């Protein structure tokens, strides 16, 4: 079962971008610099579909019609050509990609040469900025040392492995097919190839004890990647795991359990030298994921592949989800964007606060001032002074940062980020 296609407006005409996608320059302090640009490439194939997964993924690698794994690079090349032409017609400035991210699905279900070819497509279509960050997601069982060396030779700089847990029974509940022993091996191979490494962890799996989570954190720290992500499991309606929970076969994770495990992660990772830079992400200094930061910092990006999302200023777009239908549109010379939406000023402001508050640097409170609104000496809108004071007294915002005119979450605040967002945008 794949996620439903979002509702939205169709593209105008036969493939040009929405009228709202224009050449935009959002310079600061009189500067006129284009918004940075990133590229996301979606690879929809997986060996198995995990019970908790609600991503747009498929285990059939031979769908035909240009959507088979063997044809994927060729079809993707067609979409990138159409996208570049549409962006040029819309008057968008030509920008080299600052970051490239291959996600899925499991990109490493494809041969390493295919991933190298996909990166070359980005290079020839838009160009890669000097020092560009290039990442692929990978499942530990889908790569070997030669595979990772090929990626490094092609220009990849990072690989993000789906570790999820170091406990066999937790991996079994998540329906992951790798063994815990495989993870340190693939990280060592990646490191020898010169690739930066990241591990993704999941906490809150049904049946996972606090001791299980401690074991996973200790194993991840011992492996020693450059970057770690830790996400609370969300059991989405319509997934196989959701059905198991409804039948009583699995127990829904408790909020208190997940909060305890988050606090454990922050303590263990901080002790090991990792700094949190976004609520769910920790890194050794200088190894933050710049592609993820592009999302949180409101860069522009083009997303290619079935169901991939794109973002240009106030416009969000999404590709056709079904791979065969997506490929048919590309073969017909049509940009395979199924729909788009234009974000109004209120939603845009809410999104800016919601994303910005997740970052370690927090929000500049002066940026929340409305036209003509009275502010304090540090730029904080006077209407927010009592709100910020209350959030500090509740232990949700760091007082020292607030005194400098910035809203920075405390550890407790990270657990209640939605509450803080709501108070700052009321």
Same-domain pairing of 271 and 387: no
User: Is 247 in the same domain as 103?
Assistant: yes
Residue 321 has pLDDT above 90, yes or no: yes
In a shared domain, residues 361 and 287: no
Q: Provide the pLDDT for residue 286.
A: 96
Q: Cβ distance 54 to 236 under 8 Å?
A: yes
> Is 0.85 topped by the overall pTM?
yes
The confidence score (pLDDT) of residue 14 equals 57
Average pLDDT over residues 181-207: 97
Is 12 within the bounds of a domain?
Answer: no
Residue 26: pLDDT band (50, 70, 90) is very low
| Residue 93 CA: distances (Å) to CA of 33, 86, 96 | 10, 12, 10
**Does 374 share its domain with 305?**
no
Which string of b and e fits 393-418 if b means at least 16 CB within 10 Å? eeebbbeebbeebbbbbbeebbbbee
Domain assignment present for residue 131? The answer is: yes
pLDDT band, residue 28 (cuts 50/70/90):
very low
Residue position matching structure tokens 């406990």 = 167
* pLDDT, tens only, 167-182: 999 999 998 989 999 9
Residue 379 lies in a domain: yes
Residue 113 has pLDDT above 60, yes or no: yes
Note whether residue 6 is domain-resident.
no
Structure confidence at residue 325 as a pLDDT band (50, 70, 90): very high
Gap between the Cα atoms of 181 and 193, Å rounded: 20
Which stretch of 85-89, 102-106, 180-184, 395-399 has the lowest confidence by average pLDDT? 85-89
176 and 224 inside one domain: yes
**Residue 70, domain CATH:** 3.20.20.70
Whether residue 8 is predicted with pLDDT greater than 60 in this model: the reply is yes
Q: Tell me: pLDDT of 242 over 80.
A: yes
Stretch 344-359: mean pLDDT: 90
Decide if 9 is inside a domain. Answer: no
Band of pLDDT at residue 47, cut at 50, 70 and 90 = confident
pLDDT of residue 275: 98
pLDDT at 336 (0 to 100): 95
Give which of 292, 297, 285 is closest to 362, Cα–Cα. Answer: 297
pLDDT at 415 over 70: yes
Residue 161 pLDDT exceeds 80: yes
Instruction: Tell me: do 384 and 314 sit in the same domain.
Output: no
- Give the domain-ending residue among 325, 342, 359: 342
Examine the fold and report which residue of 290, 324, 342 is the final residue of a domain before the chain moves on: 342
> Is the model's pLDDT at 368 over the cut of 50?
yes
What is the per-residue pLDDT for 33? 64
pLDDT at residue 6 in the model = 67
Per the structure, the complete domain to which residue 388 belongs is given by 345-425
Tell me, yes or no, whether 385 and 331 share the same domain: no
- Confidence category of residue 22, pLDDT binned at 50, 70, 90: low
Looking at the fold, whether 301 and 154 belong to one and the same domain comes out as yes
Residue 5 has a pLDDT of 62
The token pair that represents 347 in the structure block: 């939603």
**pLDDT given at position 1:** 38
Give the mean pLDDT of the chain.
91
> How large a percentage of the chain has pLDDT more than 90?
73
pLDDT above 50 (res 27): no
What is the pLDDT averaged over residues 80-107?
93
Same domain, 309 and 357: no
Q: Are residues 279 and 387 in the same domain?
A: no
Give one word for 164, left, alpha or beta, with left for phi > 0 and alpha for psi -120 to 50. left
Confidence of residue 89 (pLDDT cuts 50, 70, 90): confident
Reported as a single tens digit per residue, the pLDDT across 254-294 is 889 999 999 999 999 999 999 999 999 999 999 999 999 99
Closest CA to 157 of 115, 185, 95: 115
Domains identified in the chain, total number:
2
Please report the pLDDT score of residue 20 as a whole number: 72
């Amino acid at each position: 079962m794949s996620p439903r296609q979002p509702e939205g407006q169709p593209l105008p005409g036969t493939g040009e971008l929405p009228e709202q996608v224009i050449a935009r320059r959002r310079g600061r302090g009189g500067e006129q610099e284009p918004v940075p640009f990133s590229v996301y490439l979606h690879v929809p194939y997986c060996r198995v579909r995990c019970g908790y997964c609600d991503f747009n993924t498929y285990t059939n690698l031979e769908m035909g019609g240009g959507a088979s794994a063997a044809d994927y690079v060729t079809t993707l090349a067609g979409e990138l050509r159409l996208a570049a032409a549409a962006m040029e017609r819309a008057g968008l400035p030509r920008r080299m990609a600052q970051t490239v991210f291959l996600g899925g699905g499991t990109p490493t279900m494809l041969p390493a040469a295919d991933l190298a070819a996909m990166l070359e497509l980005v290079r020839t279509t838009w160009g890669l900025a000097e020092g560009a960050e290039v990442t692929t997601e990978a499942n530990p069982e889908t790569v070997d040392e030669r595979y990772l060396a090929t990626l490094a030779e092609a220009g990849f700089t990072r690989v993000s492995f789906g570790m999820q847990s170091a406990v066999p029974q937790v991996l079994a509940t998540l329906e992951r097919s790798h063994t815990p022993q495989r993870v340190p091996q693939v990280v060592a191979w990646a490191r020898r190839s010169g690739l930066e490494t990241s591990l993704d962890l999941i906490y809150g799996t049904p049946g996972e004890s606090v001791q299980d989570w401690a074991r996973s954190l200790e194993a991840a720290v011992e492996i020693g990647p450059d970057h770690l992500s830790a996400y609370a499991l969300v059991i989405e309606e319509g997934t196989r795991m959701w059905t198991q929970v409804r039948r009583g076969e699995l127990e829904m994770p408790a909020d208190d359990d997940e909060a305890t495990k988050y606090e454990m992660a922050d303590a263990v990772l901080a002790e090991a030298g990792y700094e949190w830079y976004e609520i769910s992400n920790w890194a050794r200094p200088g190894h933050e994921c710049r592609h993820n930061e592009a999302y949180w910092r409101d860069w522009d990006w083009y997303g290619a592949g079935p169901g991939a999302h794109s973002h240009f200023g106030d416009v969000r777009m999404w590709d056709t989800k079904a791979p065969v239908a997506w490929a048919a549109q590309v073969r017909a010379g049509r940009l395979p964007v199924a729909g788009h939406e234009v974000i109004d000023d209120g939603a845009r402001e809410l999104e800016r606060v919601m994303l910005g508050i997740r970052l370690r640097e927090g929000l500049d409170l002066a940026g929340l001032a409305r036209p003509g609104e009275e502010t304090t000496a540090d730029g904080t809108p006077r209407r927010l002074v009592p709100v910020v004071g209350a959030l500090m007294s509740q232990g949700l915002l760091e007082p020292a940062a607030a005194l400098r005119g910035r809203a920075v979450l405390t550890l407790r605040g990270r657990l209640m980020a939605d509450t803080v967002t709501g108070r700052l945008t009321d």
